[in-house]
Structure 1
Amino acid sequence: MRPPHTRIVFFGVLLLVAPASIVASDGGTAIDHQGDEIIIGAATDQRIEGTTPFESGTIIGVRVKSVGETHPFLVSKAVKVGENGSFDVVFDLSELAPLQGGPIHVEVRHNESTIHELDGVLVTKNMPAESTLTYAPPTDGTTSPPSTTTATTTTPDDSSSGIDVPGFGIVAGLVALGSVILLTRR
């Protein structure tokens, strides 16, 4: 029979590691857009708007990255959630205009976890041959997309809080568990 302190140490390590390995989905984040995917132009003032159930002042991240044949890029910005859970972030993508356009992936992130994702298209001067989208440079100084009418929403995967504890991931848990096993065998 093992001494009782061995079990206490084992369960203590387990309690520290288990919550950190759970990835949360908030269940109510939405990105405003028209149609099945978001369309973003390679121009200044490209706006991504949406809502999230987080409180006003919470910091979230919005990331846009290329997919497939689209010229490789990744842009990301942190933004504070506004009143009623709204968020609004503006990207300057004008440097991408001469590059190969095509599919993109947009993510909303909180605590280093993706809480909502959406596929889309980056429209540039150099679109793939099969694309029906054409680049239209801004003429009136505004490049914001037309008003949005559709929103996609996420569904909750679990009921965790979404809090990540740095340093207590799966690897740290395995190291701690191995240490406990070695100490109990002495």
Structure 2
Amino acid sequence: MRPPHLIVTLAVVVALSLSGVVAADSGTAIDHAGDELTLDAVDGEHVHGTTPFAPGTLIGVRVKSVGDTHPFLVSKAVRVGENGSFDVTFDLSEMAQLRGGPVQVSVRRDQQPIYEENATLVTYDMPENSTLTPDIRDAATAETTSASTATTADSSSGIDVPGFGAGVGVAALLVASFVAARGL
């Protein structure tokens, strides 16, 4: 009778693990004005939004080039604030002289993307068909005019914090189930 119990236990553990990942993924959003997210290649460019995660949860926000945009990747870790809000500031000023265009902004947890949104990086060298022009104002000054309730602590490392993904967690649960079933 042991094998059916083990199989049922493993099936329940896997189902609960996978359903938790899906539930955690829903509800994350990046806030922006208008229909499309645009980022200016300036120091102090903010990316902010909300997640369903508890305050203090560590997440990563990543901006990476896509397509004809000059290749780059910037990433920062940030703690979720009250009401699931997050706010991270990037220094994109070094990209101002590069070719702008499409980028992808993603919110990550345990090194896994939980939300991705396409955006446009506006620089001084935009593609010919672009109607966007760079905003040379200081993004930090402009951000003070908009209301923001996020209280977060930015990581100065600029890298994703390593952690265990959902796959490693499921594998660990499977190993623990096998060990428990064998009575070791």
CA distance in 2, matches of 1:144, 1:122: 17
CA shift for structure 1 position 144? 4.5
SS in 1 for 2:46: strand
**Structure 1 19/118 Cα, relative in aligned 2: closer, same or farther at 3 Å?**
same
Contact 1:24–1:113 at 8 Å: present in 2 too?
no
Pairing of 1:1-186 with structure 2 (within 5 A):
4-22=1-19, 23-26=21-24, 27-138=26-137, 142=141, 144=143, 147=146, 164=166, 166-168=168-170
What percentage of aligned pairs have identical amino acids? 49
More helix by share: 2
Inter-partner Cα distance in structure 2 for 1:143 and 1:101? 21
- Per-residue CA distance 1:37-71 (angstroms, 9 max, x = gap): 11111121110112223222121221111121111
- What is the distance in 2 between the residues matched to 1:144 and 1:20? 39
Contact 1:29 1:53 survives alignment (8 Å): yes
- Cα distance in structure 1, aligned partners of 2:139 and 2:72: 27
Tell me the secondary structure at the aligned position of residue 68 of structure 2. Answer: coil
**Structure 2 stretches lacking a partner, 5+ long:** 148-164, 179-184
Higher mean alpha-carbon deviation, 135-144 vs 121-130, is at: 135-144
With normalisation by structure 1, the TM-score equals 0.68
Following the alignment from structure 1 to structure 2, what is the Cα–Cα distance between the partners of residues 35 and 97?
Answer: 22
Per-residue CA deviation, residues 88-115 of structure 1 (Å, 9 max, x unaligned), is 1001112212211101111222344433
Shift of 1:168: 2.7
**TM-score, normalization by structure 2:** 0.69
Give the whole-Å Cα distance in 2 for the aligned partners of 1:73 and 1:98.
13
Report the Cα offset of residue 138 of structure 1.
Answer: 3.8
> Over aligned residues, Cα RMSD in angstroms?
3.2
Higher relative contact order (CA 8 A, sep 6+): 1
CA distance in 1, matches of 2:107, 2:47: 10
> Corresponding residue for 1:153?
none
SS in 2 for 1:166: helix
Larger Rg: 1
